[in-house]
Structure 1
Amino acid sequence: MTLRTRILVLISALVVLAGVATASVLHASARADRRNQTQPGGPKITAGTVALTGDQSRMVFRNMAWGPHRDELTTVPASDPSGPRTASKVKCLRFYAASGTGVCLQAVHGAVQDTYRAVILDAHLHETARYDVPGIPSRARVSPSGRYAAWTAFVGGDSYAGTNFSTRAAIVDTRTGKLTPSLEAYRVMKDGRMYDAADVNFWGVTFAGDDRTFYATLATKGKTYLIRGDLRTRTVTTVHTNVECPSLSPDGTRIAFKKRVKGLPKDAPWHLYVLDLHTMRETPLAEPRSVDDQAVWRDDHTIVYALPGDYGADLYTVPSDGTGKPRRISTAAVSPAYLR
């Protein structure tokens, strides 16, 4: 092969390689463009203003649909949860709001690993404070008055289904900024006696309307308990067994929760129940599937919760008295809050 022929072969090879590289770039760009558009058949989403006060008949939640508004807080009319969404540009992994105060649990993506934080938001979604979160965010709540916010994170493991996990539940006074990084700092009263054990875990805080009382899950020795907490005395007291991720009804009389039921798969062991706090009577709800969520009360008669869906999660509703049947109300959505 002559020198001239070798040069021509080399030039041809370079041209082919350049073409392949260009095609790869264009293909990747096209895929990115498609990813940044809402999938066909998905919810209609437009950027706009999202507030936590004003119109008291709206729902705010984390949008899960692929596109430029993925993970952003979005709002819809509470009467039309599957309708067009308005997106805020504020991204959260978990979210909740009440009385013009929101708590947004976020991931901070790093070169080596992600870290997490809790951001307190005002009525216009402006940050007023932020706190480090020691692990993967799991649950978030705000008290009815907006004064207190709480969150739970996994500091070991990443699922409630097994037993090899540990959690950290924190509460902050949004007025003073005083943070309790872990409910493990509280005194535990179990069966009428002081209780101290190294394996105690807390998660799933829910607040009463008196800015003093809260409920949560306590786990120890392989069992879970509903506990009632007192923010002033910094004490928690066991109330009922086999309760996880409690959610207090708006009238303060009942707890919606997930309960481990014998015979269900180990990775999906829960059924939704409602507990009457006066009689301690449990009512199983008409959702046959296992629900791993801290349910939300839409009103005194309706429970809202998330189940896995095509985009990651969908929202469903079911009556709180055990009647009726579950109904999907919104696709590609999680962490709802009803503005009251």
Structure 2
Amino acid sequence: MNRTARLLLLLAAVLVLGGVAVGATLHAAGRADRKDRTQAGGPEVASGPVRLDDPRHGLFRNMAWGPHRDEITAVPEGRLTGPRTASGVRCLRFHAASGTGICLQAVHGELRDTYRAVVLDNRLRERRHYDLAGTPTRARVSPSGRTVAWTVFVSGDSYAGTAFSTRTSVVDTRGRHLDANLETYALTVDRHRVRAVDINVWGVTFADDTHFYATAATAGKTYLVRGDRSTRTLRALHPNVECPSLSPDGTRIAYKKRIADADPDAPWRLYVLDLRTLRETATAEHRNIDDQAVWRDGHTLVYSLPGDYGSDLWTVPADGTGTPHRLLSAALAPVFSR
């Protein structure tokens, strides 16, 4: 073989190998794109339209690693483990009702992060926002969608400790009236007005646009309180109740109860309180629950527990029967249609 033939053969080999390399690169890029959407073996997630008023879908904060982590995501109600549709809206805490959403977001700055509460319309578009004084921890919307509430930590980062302070705000999304701090409401315990400086209020759950339940803490004790926005009052109903969640029929409260002999770093168990009799029922979930549970329906509770992606959603009957089951992996802050 002469020199020219050898050069032509070498050139052909280079072209073939170059084509193979390009093909492999494109194939790998395609696989990487699919891998992003499927979260490296986790749930399949892809961008798409999400609405708050679609009764056919459940909503939650997607926790799977990848480009859609922390985005509000929808799945079909009848197929919760199916492909996820991510909205592009990222929230640290989220809740929605009747086409109104509340999204507590981080705003990343050059020197430090700040936080804000964003009121969303039914297509997850911002209606207005409010600056937050601390780290987001709880958020709720009233059944009508007119009133929203949120809680932030203004010092400390856990309800388990003793050195923490909260600030809870409630806003009317139509009239835009803001109660910036529920600690300014008049708190009564055993019919006595409490005027202590250590009052903390957190974890609102709405009965309607005017009335709500929450946790109030003072003198080292926590109470379930009933709040009234028209009279600006909080009335204690029952001790040792944290992060209440009102049932759809308004007769029961799901909550986390601090157990005396539990690990101080994992002190809470999930209970249900009958508001008429004040009778407590322990659920069949015996692990530590540091969450504000959600009622999926009138009989079933949904709550978060640590998982491979940070958080999974679990479910258990509210009447103390049954056993806990994992409902969704890599998910947090669920909202189900009523």
Give yes or no for TM over 0.5.
yes
Distance (Å, rounded) in 1 between the aligned partners of 2:77 and 2:244: 23
Correspondence 1:41 to 2:41: yes
How do 1:164-313 and structure 2 match up within 5 A?
164-209=163-208, 211-313=209-311
Distance (Å, rounded) in 1 between the aligned partners of 2:81 and 2:236: 39
TM-fit CA distance, 1:41: 2.4
Distance (Å, rounded) in 1 between the aligned partners of 2:299 and 2:218: 32
**3-state SS, counterpart of residue 308 of structure 2:** coil
Counterpart in the other structure of 2:94: 95
With normalisation by structure 1, the TM-score equals 0.88
Counterpart in the other structure of 1:156: 155
Distance (Å, rounded) in 2 between the aligned partners of 1:333 and 1:184: 32
Aligned partner of 2:305: which letter? Answer: L
Instruction: Kindly tell me the number of residue pairs found equivalent between the two proteins.
Output: 308
Q: Which runs of 5+ in 2 are unaligned?
A: 1-28
Distance (Å, rounded) in 2 between the aligned partners of 1:33 and 1:268: 39
Aligned partner of 2:322: which letter? Answer: G
More moved, 86-95 vs 70-79: 70-79
Is the contact made by 2:35 and 2:41 (CA closer than 8 Å) also made in structure 1? no
Aligned partner of 2:77: which letter? Answer: A
Query: Cα gap change, 1:33/1:221 in structure 2, threshold over 3 Å: closer, same or farther?
Result: farther
Aligned partner of 1:316: which letter? Answer: W
Is the contact made by 2:148 and 2:170 (CA closer than 8 Å) also made in structure 1? yes
Query: Cα gap change, 1:101/1:193 in structure 2, threshold over 3 Å: closer, same or farther?
Result: same
Distance (Å, rounded) in 1 between the aligned partners of 2:332 and 2:93: 8
Distance (Å, rounded) in 2 between the aligned partners of 1:179 and 1:191: 28
Distance (Å, rounded) in 2 between the aligned partners of 1:125 and 1:36: 23
TM-fit CA distance, 1:330: 0.5
**3-state SS, counterpart of residue 206 of structure 1:** strand
Query: Cα gap change, 1:44/1:189 in structure 2, threshold over 3 Å: closer, same or farther?
Result: same
Distance (Å, rounded) in 1 between the aligned partners of 2:174 and 2:312: 34
Aligned partner of 1:40: which letter? Answer: A
TM-fit CA distance, 1:36: 4.9
CA RMSD of aligned residues (A): 1.6
Q: Could you list the per-position Cα deviations for residues 274-307 of structure 1 after superposition, in whole angstroms to 9, with x for gaps in the alignment?
A: 0000000000000010000000000000000000
Q: Which runs of 5+ in 1 are unaligned?
A: 1-28
Q: Could you list the per-position Cα deviations for residues 304-328 of structure 1 after superposition, in whole angstroms to 9, with x for gaps in the alignment?
A: 0000111110000000000000000
Distance (Å, rounded) in 2 between the aligned partners of 1:110 and 1:81: 35
Q: Could you list the per-position Cα deviations for residues 217-239 of structure 1 after superposition, in whole angstroms to 9, with x for gaps in the alignment?
A: 00111110000000111111000
Distance (Å, rounded) in 1 between the aligned partners of 2:102 and 2:242: 21
Distance (Å, rounded) in 2 between the aligned partners of 1:35 and 1:262: 46
More moved, 74-83 vs 104-113: 74-83
Counterpart in the other structure of 2:136: 137
TM-fit CA distance, 1:37: 5.4
Distance (Å, rounded) in 1 between the aligned partners of 2:330 and 2:68: 11
Is the contact made by 2:39 and 2:45 (CA closer than 8 Å) also made in structure 1? no
Counterpart in the other structure of 1:50: 50
TM-fit CA distance, 1:79: 2.5
Query: Cα gap change, 1:128/1:239 in structure 2, threshold over 3 Å: closer, same or farther?
Result: same
How do 1:3-82 and structure 2 match up within 5 A?
36=36, 38-53=38-53, 55-82=54-81
The higher-RCO structure (CA 8 Å, 6+ apart) is: 1
Is the contact made by 2:135 and 2:152 (CA closer than 8 Å) also made in structure 1? yes
With normalisation by structure 2, the TM-score equals 0.89
